[in-house]
Structure 1
Amino acid sequence: MYEHVKKLFDLGADGYDWQRRSLIPDFDQFYGMAVSLIRPERAAPSILDLGAGTGLLTSFVAAACPQAKLTLIDFSEKMLDQARKRFERHPAEVRFITGDYAEREFPETYDYVVSSLSIHHLEHADKQKLFKKIYRMIRPGGAFINADQAAGETPFFEAFNLREWEREVAATGLPPELIEASKERRKQDRNATVSDQLRWLREAGFADADSVYKRLGFAVFYAPKAK
């Protein structure tokens, strides 16, 4: 399944960023909330982006924290090629890792672990394992921030979210073939409800975890690690 997802994102690497603005309701609020939660106590925090893709989320983070030391991991080399171009002039250290973050062991620790629209591809058991690994990777006082998709809490709201998403995307004027390609990618999604994900985060060790933003099937999860 993951190999099929990789192929889909390889094919869409070149146009991925500009399509996101049409495919994500309230794009600015969604990403803006995630970035606003990064409030480092030092000027050069260490930040890991899981499933970084073209580096879109990390680019917003870098604008807010220009001295941040960035690590981006993704299993699509074509996506990371776009990210490398994006960060050619970043003043601080930037590392790129091609690989599967769900399988990789990270010996380093980070002030922040972030992710956007990636973890929902994992099976639920793999999400739970990943959250435990993330907790171990984060330094005391840091946080995990995940801007991602979420399933509706009931079948009614799952259908409602999808129907409203399709209506809003169609209204953007995005070409029908690109909308259909997005729907094809969504067939590979393994979305979990907000309530399940919050429970898994708490089970992983995060005493505090909440969804600080939610609209339709998109949510921003914030899980700080106690000092």
Structure 2
Amino acid sequence: MNKDSHQVKVKFDEIADKYDQQRRMLIPSFDDFYGIPVAFSGQSRNAPRILDLGAGTGLFSSFFVEKYPDAELTLIDLSSNMMDIAKVRFSHLSRVEYIVADYSAYEYSGKFDIIISSLSIHHLEDAAKQAIYAKAYSLLEDDGLFINADQVLGSTPAIHRYYEETWRAAVLCSGLSQDNLDLALERMKIDKYATVESQLGWLARAGFTDVDCLFKHYNFAVLTGRRA
């Protein structure tokens, strides 16, 4: 595990038990940010194979399970504490595989119909982002869908500052305490954002078609591509 991955693991092990309860307060566009990807993910199969990269507590996957209750899930995350919460969340399901590992380096078996990621890929350097997009493409079945719901960089420094200021004001109005906001800001020091434009280009270069930004609210965006 490299230094950056270790930092991510430590930070998210520490906040695992508080992660879910703070999501709505930390993501002003929570319903669209999580709901639009699920609505877009039309599948002809009743039981798609879904891989969640950086699955954490399984929050993002839980919305897909509502739409595809017979889905076969593979959840992978660095944080064992976060995965323990996911195991409780999906304890009623029998077709779930839990992997505590670095999703960038892990050797997967088989292919998937949908690969998703939420608020994770922004922890990677740009070269690693491009590599995980290429890996996702290679792991998808034909017509398989990749969806990344993540935080992104503003197209200019001034625009990104506006995003950050607007987000901070919204979070303070949400009821999140100043202490918890300070902890979130501390975690954000390890983030490595990239612009929507750059990431759409990387998805296209990885081979994806139907590449688009499905949703964007300031620095929260949902990016997608399909393996033709």
Would the aligned equivalents of 2:71 and 2:95 in 1 still touch at CA under 8 Å? yes
% same residue: 46
Does residue 190 in structure 1 map to residue 196 in structure 2?
no
Does residue 156 in structure 1 map to residue 155 in structure 2?
no
Q: Which amino acid aligns with 2:30?
A: F
TM-score, normalization by structure 2:
0.97
CA distance in 2, matches of 1:207, 1:52: 24
Would the aligned equivalents of 1:37 and 1:145 in 2 still touch at CA under 8 Å? no
Q: CA deviation at 1:105?
A: 2.0
CA distance in 2, matches of 1:5, 1:87: 23
Q: CA deviation at 1:107?
A: 2.8
The match for 1:78 is: 81
The match for 1:49 is: 52
Would the aligned equivalents of 1:10 and 1:78 in 2 still touch at CA under 8 Å? yes
Would the aligned equivalents of 1:52 and 1:58 in 2 still touch at CA under 8 Å? yes
Q: CA deviation at 1:208?
A: 2.2
Does residue 87 in structure 1 map to residue 90 in structure 2?
yes
The match for 2:23 is: 20
Q: CA deviation at 1:5?
A: 1.5
CA distance in 2, matches of 1:107, 1:205: 21
The match for 1:68 is: 71
Partner of residue 40 from structure 1, selected from 39, 43, 49: 43
Q: CA deviation at 1:213?
A: 0.1
Partner of residue 201 from structure 1, selected from 199, 203, 217: 203
Which blocks of at least 5 consecutive residues in structure 1 are unaligned? none
**Which string of whole-angstrom CA distances, capped at 9 and with x for unpartnered residues, describes residues 146-179 of structure 1?**
1001000111111010000001001111111100
Q: Which amino acid aligns with 1:19?
A: Q
TM-score, normalization by structure 1:
0.97
**Where do 4+ consecutive residues of structure 1 move more than 6 Å?**
none
Aligned residues: 225
Q: Which amino acid aligns with 2:187?
A: R
Q: Which amino acid aligns with 1:70?
A: L
CA distance in 2, matches of 1:24, 1:34: 15
For 2:63, what is the secondary structure of its paired residue? helix
